[in-house]
Amino acid sequence: MSNKPYKGFEPKWLLTPAPAGSYRSIFRWGDPEFFKYPKESLYKMMKEAFHMTDEDFRDYTDDIGFDQVSLPDHPSRIAPEHLEALKKIVGEEFVTTGDYERLSVAYGCTGYDLLRLRHKQIDSLPDVVVYPDTTEQVEELVRYAAEHKLPLYVYGGGSSVTRGVEPIKGGISLDMRKRFNKILSFNEVDQTITVQAGLSGPALEEALQDAPNRFGAKRQYTCGHFPQSFEYSSVGGWVVTRGAGQNSTYYGTIADIVLSQKYATPIGRIVTPHYPREATGPDLNQIMMGSEGTFGVLTEVTLKVFRWQPENRKRFSYMFRDWETAMAAAREMMQCECGYSSVFRLSDPEETHLMLKLYNVDETPLAPLLDKLGYKDMERCMFLGFTDGEKSGYTYYTQNAHGDVVNLTDATGAITKSYTYDAFGVEKNISVTVT
What is the predicted pLDDT for the residue at 42? 83
Confidence check: pLDDT of 176 > 90: yes
CA distance 45 to 356: 12
Residue 419 CA from chain centroid, whole number: 43
What is the predicted pLDDT for the residue at 427? 62
Confidence check: pLDDT of 30 > 80: no
What is the predicted pLDDT for the residue at 408? 67
CA distance 385 to 313: 10
- 57 by Cβ neighbours in 10 Å (0-12 / 13-18 / 19+) ranks as middle
SS3 state at 203: helix
What is the predicted pLDDT for the residue at 74? 96
Q: Pick 119 or 406 by higher pLDDT.
A: 119
Confidence check: pLDDT of 395 > 70: no
C-alpha closest to that of 7 among 56, 40, 54? 40
H, E, C per residue of 74-138: CCCCCCHHHHHHHHHHHCHHHEECCHHHHHHCCCCCCHHHHHHHHCCCCCCCCCEEECCCCHHHH
What's the helix, strand, coil split of the chain in %, to 5? 30, 20, 50
Fold classification of 183-307 (topology level): 3.30.465
What is the predicted pLDDT for the residue at 163? 84
Average pLDDT over residues 363-391: 90
Residue 39 CA from chain centroid, whole number: 24
Task: Judge contact between 408 and 397, C-beta under 8 A.
Answer: yes
CATH class of 309-391: alpha beta
| Close Cβ partners of 174 (under 8 Å, ≥ 6 residues apart) | 130, 131, 132, 138, 141, 152, 153, 154, 155, 180, 297
42-46, 95-99, 218-222, 426-430: least confidently modelled range: 426-430
Confidence check: pLDDT of 67 > 70: yes
CA distance 227 to 251: 12
Average pLDDT over residues 84-101: 98
Task: Judge contact between 228 and 243, C-beta under 8 A.
Answer: no
Q: What letter represents residue 366's amino acid? A: L
Can you give the residue ranges of every domain in the chain?
80-175, 183-307, 309-391, 393-435
- 31 by Cβ neighbours in 10 Å (0-12 / 13-18 / 19+) ranks as exposed
Average pLDDT over residues 96-122: 94
Task: Judge contact between 408 and 415, C-beta under 8 A.
Answer: yes
CA distance 400 to 103: 58
> To the nearest whole number, what is the mean pLDDT of the chain?
89
> 347-356 — which CB contacts under 8 Å span 24+ positions?
347/381, 347/382, 347/383, 347/384, 348/323, 348/381, 349/322, 349/323, 349/378, 349/379, 349/380, 349/381, 350/378, 351/382, 352/380, 352/381, 352/382, 353/377, 353/378, 354/42, 354/45, 355/382, 356/382
Q: What is the pLDDT of residues 323-348, one digit of tens each?
A: 999 999 999 989 988 888 899 999 99
Task: Judge contact between 63 and 117, C-beta under 8 A.
Answer: no
Q: Does domain 80-175 have CATH number 3.30.43.10?
A: yes
Confidence check: pLDDT of 434 > 50: no
Residue 11 DSSP symbol = -
C-alpha closest to that of 205 among 259, 251, 263, 272? 251
